[in-house]
Amino acid sequence: MKLNNDSTINKFLNYLQSEKKSAVSIKNYKSDIGHFLAWTILKLKTFGSFAESVTEIIPFINNSFFLEYKNYLVKNNSKVKTINRRLSTLRAFSRFLYSEQITDQDYMQGIQNTGIGIPSSTQAKSEDIVDRFRESLEKQENASPNTVKNYVSDVRSFLAWVEQKGDLPNGV
């Protein structure tokens, strides 16, 4: 699906510009909508339905569908900040669809960031360690972006495994 060719997405992005959102915010909105739509298209394919535009997706989305997406993000260990930003984007998009009478209701109403949970102090410390490790690789080791991504992924997996086992050393 090409987001630039979807008239509904273009209307939404123009709406954001009229609301004086920054270029960075609009870029994030577009990315978040793209992620949701890609997930939606794959999800619909599992049902045997094929959609390639927002207009074709509209009949399938409802409150439960958005909740399922939220659960998908949580289960796939997306960062809490990323989940919250994506949900915020979807709330704005859902309000836009409703205000433009593209949908008959605001399906994101009632879906809040709460319930995802605030990271525990252990999770926060682990994320801080990962962030410092990433910065070290990028600056001091001059590692390639793919190497950084792979190492960070490995460290996150290891820390998640250690946390699950309950064997994190004191101070971490």
Contact 94, 44 (CB under 8 A): no
**Residues of the domain holding 83:** 3-99
**Number of domains observed in the structure of the chain:** 2
Neighbours of 97 (CB within 10 A): 22
Do both 87 and 155 map to the same domain?
no
Percent of the chain exceeding pLDDT 90 equals: 40
* The residue type at 85: R
Longest C-alpha distance within the chain, in Å?
Answer: 55
Q: Percent of the chain having pLDDT more than 70?
A: 81
93 belongs to a structural domain: yes
Number of neighbouring beta carbons within 10 Å of residue 54? 22
Per-residue pLDDT tens digits for 38-60: 999 999 999 888 888 888 999 98
State whether 91 and 147 are in the same domain. no
CA triplet 31, 111, 38: central angle to 5 degrees? 30
Domain boundary (46, 64, 99) is at 99
Is the full-model pTM beyond 0.85? no
pLDDT digits (tens, 9 = 90+) for 98-141: 999 999 999 998 888 855 455 555 566 667 777 787 788 777 76
Region 10-23: what's the mean pLDDT? 94
**Whether residue 134 is found in the same domain as residue 91:** no
